[in-house]
Chains A and B, each alone.
Chain A
Amino acid sequence: MEPRESDLDPRQIDMEIDRGERPNRALTITRRTFINKAILAGTAAGAASVGWFPTINTIDLAFGQQAAFKFAWLSDTHLYPKSVNTRFVEKTVRAVQEIKAMSPPADFLIFGGDLAQLGDPVELALGADILKELTIKKVFIPGEHDWYLDLGAKWEQTFGKSPWTFDHKGVRFIGLNTVGQVPDYWSAKKMTPKERMGHMATLDGSVAGPWAGVGEPQRRWLDQTVSNWPKSQPVVVFTHTPLYEYYPPWNFWTRDWREVNEILKPFSNVTNIHGHTHQVLYNEVGKMRSIGMLATSWPWPYAPEGVPALTKAMIRADPGDHFDGVGWSRLSVAAGKVENEYVMFGRKAVFADAEVDSGTGDNGNQILSPRIADRMYPY
């Protein structure tokens, strides 16, 4: 006998209806719901007589209802040494103070990469020093700006290795490294570490190529990591670059995003949260939602070929105010759903209603031109 719709977990039905999907009628009654129904049936007579029935929710008791919680995302601080530039320091300090002031405190901070601008140990130490103010749990994933001076040595020594995973209040959190698997573009040209880092640090550069990727060993790790996780339980994957193809010339993508999405496909509640793009972004790939985070340093323009259709674009930044168009994010998880709140410095309105405010309709017919000066010898 096929289970009736009422036999299914009501929260799962809600989540699936939100996604425009019909509940899967092939789902059989689970042991959990059988036990719950048995308890309800058994106690119904007694409970009904004392009016307890409406107050018993054994599904919640059996499942162990997870309390809602908040966490904070901070990324793309692009710190220069203080002797060069203090504006990025000021903005990072402001974000840290605002995160510290969260009440109740955030359960943890995820730092999403690009702490340093040129991977300099001085920059990484400066970042570590600023973040020391936050005494909540902190987890880190690297950005390309952190990695390519010494191929991640100082980063891992200071902030730990990735990928990693932890479970927190019913959510499996995963941090992937999408920047450390760049095909070698420096050895044949005998580049110095600074030259290597310089090319990686240039978003519109032509030398480092389409570098963003997870790579096969990390994909195997991911597959194994999620293999024992219930398919309807929330999974949140933190990456520096988006887990889909937005704009490859600026590495606003992860080159093996299809393979990563195949691994995550069986899961009905996956959220990818990423940095690198320095702008408000939203996309969905199958059942995976992908939310782009702000930088604290500066905003990037939207890609010349347009934004994902699902993105509600931000009002473009005022170039005269370097505190504008940047910030951090306050994320909350309640009943398994991840909600994001952009905390844009000094701004009341984040989202644009018209193209004239977002700049996304600026010009669609230009001939896109990768730069030429960095492809001419000497590099």
Chain B
Amino acid sequence: MNAKRRLLIALAASVVGLLFVVLGTGRLLAPPTALAHKEKHTLDQLNAFQEVFMEQVKIGDLLFHGDGATEKRMNVTLSKTGMACAMCHPFASDTHPHEFPKFQEQINKFSTLRDMINWCIEKPNEGVKIDPDSDAMKALEVYIYWSNRGSRLATGTH
């Protein structure tokens, strides 16, 4: 093999090697993406997920208990009567998230938990219904689920 060919091969190998290094490093430095079980989760990652989760539970707790500052920040009006969800549902009891979706007699149609949350905001609390896919709705939903964890799934139960 002449010198020119050897030089070309070495150059190609270097470029490929450099690409591996750059891409590999890039992956290491990038924020954790959803690996979705391609790789094993570290304890730090699991703790990070839990932190994000509990942060939402805390926001849901504040909204559920009528915290005005949190409502204002999230641009929602959950009640105009001065009442809060927790006043009829201490510890989020009697919300039965494990029974949804089901036919809900107050709404007179087949409903999800989010439908029921919005019904309560609008009717007993005389508030303004919120976007079902909003951060506020997800926070309320997660607080209700978190407060009822361990419940046996019993969808369709009255």
Residues of A within 8 A of B (CB): 80, 84-85, 87, 117, 202-204, 249-250, 298-301, 303-304, 316, 318-320, 322, 356, 359, 362-363, 365-374, 376
Give chain B residues whose Cβ lies under 8 Å from the Cβ of A359. 94
Docked complex Cα distance between A362 and B106 (Å): 18
Docked complex Cα distance between A85 and B66 (Å): 15
Residue B96 lies at the interface, judged by CB distance under 8 Å to chain A: yes
CB closest chain-A residue, reference B154? A363
- Knowing A298-B88, A356-B158, the reply to whether A84 touches B148 (Cβ < 8 A) is no
Give chain A residues whose Cβ lies under 8 Å from the Cβ of B94. 301, 316, 359, 362
- Knowing A300-B90, A304-B93, A372-B61, the reply to whether A363 touches B106 (Cβ < 8 A) is no
The reply to whether B90 and A367 form a contact with Cβ atoms under 8 Å apart is: no
Docked complex Cα distance between A299 and B152 (Å): 25
The reply to whether B91 and A362 form a contact with Cβ atoms under 8 Å apart is: no
* Distance from A15 Cβ to chain B, minimum over Cβ atoms (Å): 38
* Distance from B156 Cβ to chain A, minimum over Cβ atoms (Å): 13
Residues of B within 8 A of A (CB): 54, 57-58, 61-62, 65, 67, 81-83, 86-94, 96, 98, 106, 120, 123-124, 146-152, 154, 158
Give chain B residues whose Cβ lies under 8 Å from the Cβ of A249. 91
The reply to whether B87 and A298 form a contact with Cβ atoms under 8 Å apart is: yes
The reply to whether A365 and B91 form a contact with Cβ atoms under 8 Å apart is: no
Give chain A residues whose Cβ lies under 8 Å from the Cβ of B62. 373
Consensus secondary structure, chain A interface: loop
- Knowing A301-B94, A356-B158, the reply to whether A319 touches B123 (Cβ < 8 A) is yes
CB closest chain-A residue, reference B79? A85
Q: List 7 A-B contacts (CB under 8 A).
A: A117-B82, A249-B91, A301-B93, A319-B123, A320-B106, A359-B94, A376-B58
Docked complex Cα distance between A250 and B11 (Å): 75
CB closest chain-A residue, reference B124? A319
The reply to whether B83 and A204 form a contact with Cβ atoms under 8 Å apart is: no
Partner of B152, one of A87, A204, A320, A363: A363
The reply to whether B106 and A318 form a contact with Cβ atoms under 8 Å apart is: yes
Give chain A residues whose Cβ lies under 8 Å from the Cβ of B123. 319-320
CB closest chain-B residue, reference A316? B94
The reply to whether A319 and B82 form a contact with Cβ atoms under 8 Å apart is: no
- Knowing A319-B88, A319-B123, the reply to whether A366 touches B83 (Cβ < 8 A) is no
Docked complex Cα distance between A203 and B89 (Å): 10
- Knowing A249-B91, A301-B88, A365-B151, the reply to whether A373 touches B82 (Cβ < 8 A) is no
Give chain A residues whose Cβ lies under 8 Å from the Cβ of B61. 371-374
Give chain A residues whose Cβ lies under 8 Å from the Cβ of B158. 356
Give chain A residues whose Cβ lies under 8 Å from the Cβ of B92. 369
The reply to whether B96 and A363 form a contact with Cβ atoms under 8 Å apart is: yes
* Distance from B129 Cβ to chain A, minimum over Cβ atoms (Å): 15
* Distance from A259 Cβ to chain B, minimum over Cβ atoms (Å): 27
- Knowing A320-B123, A362-B94, the reply to whether A369 touches B146 (Cβ < 8 A) is yes
